[in-house]
A and B are shown apart, each in its own frame.
Chain A
């Protein structure tokens, strides 16, 4: 490519798809990578080095559950050696005090623990396993070790009415950052969206609660809440532009411009087993396909928001319309917006369920 390639800032290292939880909103692909197909420790060390050389500043170790990898401490140490800021994105299941101390010694900068709700019985039903009590202990352990803590709760119809209490839990746990992440409908979550999408009135109640908490906790706890795009006129500025700031490497070594890019069946993703990260970032078809604004379709091409949201989310366009190259259907100017609006309307009187026979709970790949 001729024009200057932007510099990536963050790498999501999905080191395994194995996970002890079964959350029905998981955005991992339905086709999970098998244990036997995971990248080796040396592969990951090379990826981390190459990422740092490319300009990446942040690495998030994620999955699946990253603690399932026995070499996690070595990977964190390798990341820190290259100067990367390291964040562990975890359910916390499998975190013991000795392991936490090892991670801290290896240079881990920050830990993000997911909570399914503030209240045990609901939280465990969503996780599909008994996890909540262990998470409470783990969060305390992280604080005792003097490590920065982020709490992340994925919001959906079954837990969004607990927003106030979830914020209270994060405060009690001493979190410095709280991500109130409305479910993004990809992977398992897309399959379950009719049961997961909050109602309009739930969203209208949640918005001022999140806004007030953000204000009240300024300087103490950073609170993030974004209105889900199904309820918005404007699409998400997906990844702040395709191939502009971010890359994801999945457990099998494929490099994705966005963590859910596997939803775009027409794209082929290059693998770090065959190509360097720099080549994939700069030259690969998948990273260049939607890079910049020249490729934008109508009505984006002449839209005043084209440098704001870059046509929105490619994965959502692919999922809803079967064409990744059209305007994100969440946008008010998309000819497909009615499809999304009709779906949202149909959900308004939907029931709330965390029953396994109704929701498709995530299950792991065989080895």
Chain B
């Protein structure tokens, strides 16, 4: 699994749309012919993929929110971003 570089600024692709599901009240990520039902962590990560924060900043922010160390949460965030990238849901630009 390839780790995103610390200064990469992940941004959700224009083909993906984050919204609240009417039926469950939970967050979903919609894209052509597909949907991801997001758990709270996935939602927290996806919400920060706006192209403004770097990978490192996202990790720090989430570490604060969940009160765990950046080292602990960093691989999880990287793994999640890679999954989004494999689904072509992240902008490919650094």
Residues of A within 8 A of B (CB): 7, 9-10, 52-53, 55, 57-58, 83, 85, 87, 109-110, 112, 146-148, 150, 176-177, 218-222
Tell me, yes or no, whether B15 is within 8 Å of chain A by CB. Answer: yes
Contact string against A for B residues 1-39, beta-carbon threshold 8 Å, 1 for contact and 0 otherwise: 000000000000111010101110000101111010000
* Chain A residues within an 8 Å CB radius of B71: none
Main secondary structure of the interface of A (DSSP, over half): loop
Task: Tell whether, in the assembled complex, residue B30 and residue A57 are in contact, meaning their CB atoms are under 8 Å apart.
Answer: yes
Query: Known contacts A57-B30, A58-B33, A87-B32; is A218 also within 8 Å of B86 by CB?
Result: yes
Chain B residues near A53: list those with CB within 8 A.
Answer: 22
- A112→B22 contact, CB < 8 A: no
Alpha-carbon distance A110/B16, docked complex (angstroms)? 9
| Chain B residues closer than 8 Å to A52, beta-carbon distance | 22
B32/A55 in contact, CB under 8 A: no
Given contacts A85-B17, A87-B32, contact A176 B88 (CB under 8 A): yes
Roughly how many angstroms separate A220 CA and B91 CA in the complex, as a whole number?
9
B32 near A110 with CB under 8 A, answer: yes
17 contacts between A and B (CB under 8 A): A7-B23, A58-B33, A58-B35, A83-B22, A85-B30, A87-B33, A146-B14, A148-B13, A148-B32, A176-B13, A177-B15, A177-B32, A218-B86, A220-B92, A221-B88, A222-B87, A222-B88
B85 adjacent to A219 (CB under 8 Å): yes
Give complex CA distance A59, B77 in Å: 31
Known contacts A146-B14, A148-B14, A148-B15, A58 near B30 by CB under 8 Å: yes
CB contact list, B72-94 vs A, under 8 A:
85-88, 92
A57 to B24 Cα, complex, angstroms: 12
In the assembled complex, the Cα of A52 lies from the Cα of B87 at a distance in Å of 25
Known interface pairs A148-B13, A177-B33, A219-B92; 16 further A-B residue pairs with C-beta atoms within 8 A, sorted by A's residue number: A9-B35, A52-B22, A57-B21, A57-B35, A58-B35, A83-B19, A83-B22, A85-B17, A85-B30, A87-B33, A112-B32, A176-B13, A177-B15, A218-B86, A219-B86, A221-B88
For B21, the chain A residues whose CB sits under 8 A away are 55, 57
A176 to B90, CA, bound (A): 11
Query: What is the distance, in angstroms, from A258's C-beta to the closest C-beta of chain B?
Result: 16
**Set of chain B residues within 8 Å of A87, measured between Cβ atoms:** 32-33
- Chain B, residue nearest A179 (CB): B33
- Do the beta carbons of A109 and B22 come within 8 Å of each other? no
Q: Report how far A85 CA is from B13 CA in the complex, Å.
A: 14
In the complex, which residues of chain A have a beta carbon less than 8 angstroms from the beta carbon of B23? 7, 55
A55 to B17, CA, bound (A): 16
Kindly identify which residue among B15, B28, B86, B87 contacts A110, using a CB–CB cutoff of 8 Å: B15
Q: Please provide the 9 A-B residue pairs with the shortest distance between their CB atoms, ordered closest to farther.
A: A148-B15, A85-B30, A55-B23, A110-B32, A219-B85, A222-B88, A57-B35, A148-B14, A110-B15
